[in-house]
Amino acid sequence: MQRFLPKFFRSRSGLFKGQRPRTPFHRTRLWWLIACVLFLTILLSSIGITFAFLRGPYLLHAQTSVNAGNALGAPLPGQSIWRNGVSSYLFGTNDPTFDHVLPTDPNYRLNQVQSMRSALKQAGITLIRTPLAHNGGQEIEQRLAQIQQIGAACLGILSMTDLALDRKIVDTAGTRCQMYEFGNEPDNSGSNDAMSPDQYASQWNAIIPALRQDLQQKKIQAMFIGPVVASPNTGYIRTFLQNVPNALPDAVSFHMYPCTDVDQQTCLTQNVNEYAPSAQRVRATVRQVLNRDLPLGVTEWNDNWRNQAKPEESDPAFMTAFTTKSLQSLAQGQVAFANQYNMGTGANDGHLLMTANGQAKPQLQAMATMIAQLRTTARNSTPPAAVPSPTAALTAGIVVPTHTSPTFTGTIQDTFQRPDQPSWTTTAVPWSADATNGTVFSMQGNAGQIAHDQGQSNYTALLDPSTTNVDLTLTGSVNQFNVSQVNLGVVTHWTDSNNFYKLDIDGQTLLLQKYINGVLTKLDAVPFPAQNGVSYTLRLHVEGTNLSGMAWSTGKTAPNNWMVKATDNALPSGISGLSVMLQPDTAGQPGTSISITSFSETFTAVRLM
């Protein structure tokens, strides 16, 4: 048997020097000793794993990487992985009392309609999102009891400002709710709860660590989710994540209503497929900041966020097709949890709900069908035809890459052909930074408008992903130029407001410049007299360390050669967009107003795995 032992264990006189020669009995004892050591090693490892599991989300913050093949991220409390790797929590909905305008008809109320709860339970709904901070937390027990009766897991919504209330919620809920979103849509400029990403991060840092400590002392596992943005707002998500390095979230969530302003055909052939590429963009942003994945949730989704119903929403065939395709796209995007909006209020005149008078409507019926098809923990079973595997696709002007190369290319284009609204926010082209400011940026007359308020004079509108090689084209006009005070331009390799490249026109000159740590350096410039109210097109091209730019009057032929050029390696990558300088109203002079009619970006980006 000695030949199976390491050399330092062997000796002619026994296992250790000085021992008597072995007998069969001694050899048997040695085998038992080895077996006992192996058993204790396995047992202690198992205990360690158990302790790690009990620590739950607290372990996540010490990890530096994850398995790139598991884009669903870390497991959620109570989650199962069904057929084709689909998360069981993809089939959630919103508590109807989350609706701010509640119908007086009690048939819409979850707490008053047993048949509604029965319909949801029979369909197999797995996750219910509920505002536990509503009415000062007076309804916590009632809401949790109703969710338990349905047999679903709880996704609670916390206050963004009241630590005492949040402590009351998590203490009352205990193990009955183990997933919490921190507020709702802080990036929604039309909300009374709107916050900048810096303000939201400050509130998170003040509240979430305290809640985690409370739960850890009680040995309760829970996950805290943020930010909870109104759209796939990658700029907001990026800034938030950068500002919470010591209190990272356990997941990120966003909302999507992809067919709000489009017709039925466009919805079912194009926009309904946007969930997957939107999730890809958010996931890429998370990876770029954290170098690992977090679970992603789409905690409000449906056809239309406006209060007015669309005619097709009363058509069962349309709602069934829309719901099925939505769930397919969510699954394709490897979304970990999702919540249809909503289960039973009069949202959109009662068209976008899953039950009415306690009876299942088309959306609930479609979800029940998919749940029945997928509900199994056979992770490697043959995928059903209804759920396509992730492949490269072109959706709403954005290329969704496959995971076969360390880099990927894509194109983003915005023609601004959409209804009037505050801000530029849209699911198809997820503008971030100042573009979400509805008092400065707006949609009017199929153009993106930028008008000065009485605050800052410099504004940016940015788009992920972070790129290396890029080609940008912008078309727009300025109502009145003023050298050194008004300009129109594009930016790229933006890392923050103090570091980026910019190409702009100011009425007299075409300028190529860089900002490094807030210091402006002119790289190249040529005279370019631009007239007030005339549309111009700017193009900036970056390849490696070479930067080139040109500008011309829209509708005329572009120059044959680059007008400004430079070589610079200070900023190897970053995000892109547009940047403008505006002038406020003065005596007898109107403030600056800029109209943008087209923006396009063709890029190469590095994939973080």
Q: Which pLDDT does position 399 carry in this prediction?
A: 33
Res. 454 pLDDT band, cuts 50 70 90: low
545 vs 138, more confident: 545
Q: Which pLDDT does position 257 carry in this prediction?
A: 92
What span, in angstroms and rounded, lies between the C-alpha atoms of 200 and 194?
9
Its pTM stands at 0.61
Output the CATH code of domain 405-606.
2.60.120.560
Q: Which pLDDT does position 12 carry in this prediction?
A: 31
Q: Would you say 317 and 273 are in contact if contact means Cβ atoms under 8 Å apart?
A: no
Quote the mean pLDDT of the chain. 79
Using one digit for the tens of pLDDT, what is the confidence trace for 296-345? Answer: 999 999 988 877 777 777 788 998 999 999 999 999 999 999 999 877 65
Give the sign of the dihedral formed by CA 79, CA 136, CA 196, CA 210: negative
109 vs 373, more confident: 373
Backbone angles phi, psi at 325, to 5 degrees: -65, -35
Query: Tokens standing for 606?
Result: 């590095």
213: amino acid identity, one letter: Q
Res. 563 pLDDT band, cuts 50 70 90: very high
- Model confidence at 353: pLDDT above 80: no
Q: To which residue do tokens 């996704």 refer?
A: 155
Q: Report, as an integer, the average pLDDT of 232-242.
A: 93
What span, in angstroms and rounded, lies between the C-alpha atoms of 429 and 410?
13
- Model confidence at 506: pLDDT above 90: yes
**Backbone region of residue 468 per phi and psi (left: phi > 0; alpha: psi in -120 to 50; beta: other values):** alpha
Domain boundaries, the chain: 63-389, 405-606
Q: How many CA atoms lie within 13 A of 429 on its CB side?
A: 22
Res. 589 pLDDT band, cuts 50 70 90: low
Using one digit for the tens of pLDDT, what is the confidence trace for 107-119? Answer: 444 445 577 788 8
Q: Which residues contact 492 (CB under 8 A, 6 or more apart)?
A: 467, 470, 472, 500, 501, 540, 542, 574, 575, 576
- Model confidence at 514: pLDDT above 90: yes
571 vs 310, more confident: 571
From the candidate CATH numbers 3.20.20.80, 3.40.309.10, 3.90.580.10, 3.40.190.10, the one assigned to the domain spanning 63-389: 3.20.20.80
Q: Would you say 325 and 369 are in contact if contact means Cβ atoms under 8 Å apart?
A: no
Least confident range from 41-50, 87-96, 482-491: namely 41-50
Percentage of residues of the chain with pLDDT beyond 70: 74
What span, in angstroms and rounded, lies between the C-alpha atoms of 239 and 566?
30
- Model confidence at 443: pLDDT above 80: yes
Using one digit for the tens of pLDDT, what is the confidence trace for 14-64? Answer: 323 333 344 444 445 555 666 665 665 555 444 443 333 333 332 232 222
